[in-house]
């Protein structure tokens, strides 16, 4: 009778381990999918380098607007979540974690924002002409 009781008592522990493993696998799949989306975004948006609108879309839109907004927004949002721009919060582990989170989540969004902004600037001002 004792082995049966031990098996019954051990069952919830196995279920909790299975649930934890399932959550870890799901998070790993989501992170892997998001990182794949980041790489796909970079490859897709970087094709603008070889287009006739390359200077405005790539240099001014993606690199100028998109990447600069990505850095500024990641640092600003992480500092705001960590407690502000003081030495204690900037050197904290929470700041590092928030910065990593905002850097990963904001990268493809900023690139697409810069890409669209560059196309809008090209539509408004036309091709870049050096004078």
- Report how far apart, in Å, the C-alpha atoms of 68 and of each of 86, 96, 103, 131 are: 22, 19, 12, 26
**Integer CA distances (angstroms), 123 to 62, 64, 77, 83, in order:** 15, 17, 31, 41
pLDDT tens-digit readout, 68-126: 999 999 998 888 888 888 878 778 888 888 898 898 889 999 999 999 999 899 888 88
The pTM of this model reads 0.72
CB 61: neighbour CB atoms within 10 A? Answer: 26
């Amino acid at each position: 009778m004792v082995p049966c009781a031990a098996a019954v008592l051990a069952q919830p522990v196995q279920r909790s381990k299975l649930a934890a493993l399932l959550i870890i696998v799901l998070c790993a799949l989501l992170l892997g999918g998001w990182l794949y989306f980041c790489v796909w975004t970079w490859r897709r948006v970087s094709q603008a380098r070889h287009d006739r609108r390359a200077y405005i879309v790539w240099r001014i839109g993606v690199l100028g607007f998109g990447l600069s907004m990505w850095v500024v927004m990641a640092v600003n949002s992480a500092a705001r979540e960590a407690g502000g721009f003081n030495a204690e919060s900037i050197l904290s582990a929470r700041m590092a974690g928030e910065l990593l989170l905002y850097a990963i989540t904001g990268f493809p969004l900023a690139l697409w924002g810069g890409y669209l902004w560059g196309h809008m600037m090209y539509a408004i001002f036309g091709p870049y002409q050096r004078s």
